[in-house]
């Protein structure tokens, strides 16, 4: 009998090692919540996943009640990432 995670299509995240831990990436068509203390990398993981999806022509949604658009853009830039035009930020 197969593990249920083997049956779900996966979305790669382009984070070295994380796809392996997640058995091929995040399960598609599911809601994923990243939870943790400030500075643990939640925003970094979420933005990298959205950028990877956008490069593949996929849509994604990032919901935050904490970061402003400017904070997201500055954080992305600190990693060398450009959010526009791949990612539209609505506030």
Statement: residue 1 has pLDDT above 60: no
State pLDDT tens for residues 5-44.
Answer: 567 899 988 888 998 898 889 998 888 898 999 999 999 9
CA distance 84 to 11: 21
Mean pLDDT, all residues of the chain:
85
SS3 call for 26 = strand
Statement: residue 80 has pLDDT above 90: yes
pTM over 0.85: no
DSSP output for 38-64: TTSSHHHHHHHHHHHHHHTT-------
């Amino acid at each position: 009998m197969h593990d249920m995670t083997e049956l779900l299509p996966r979305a790669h995240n382009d984070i070295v090692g994380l796809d392996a831990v997640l058995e091929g990436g995040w399960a598609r068509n599911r809601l994923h919540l990243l939870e943790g203390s400030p500075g643990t990398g939640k925003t970094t993981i979420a933005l990298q996943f959205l950028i990877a999806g956008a490069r593949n022509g996929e849509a994604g949604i990032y919901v935050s009640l904490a970061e402003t658009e400017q904070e997201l853009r500055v954080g992305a830039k600190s990693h060398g990432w450009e959010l526009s035009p791949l990612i539209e930020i609505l506030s």
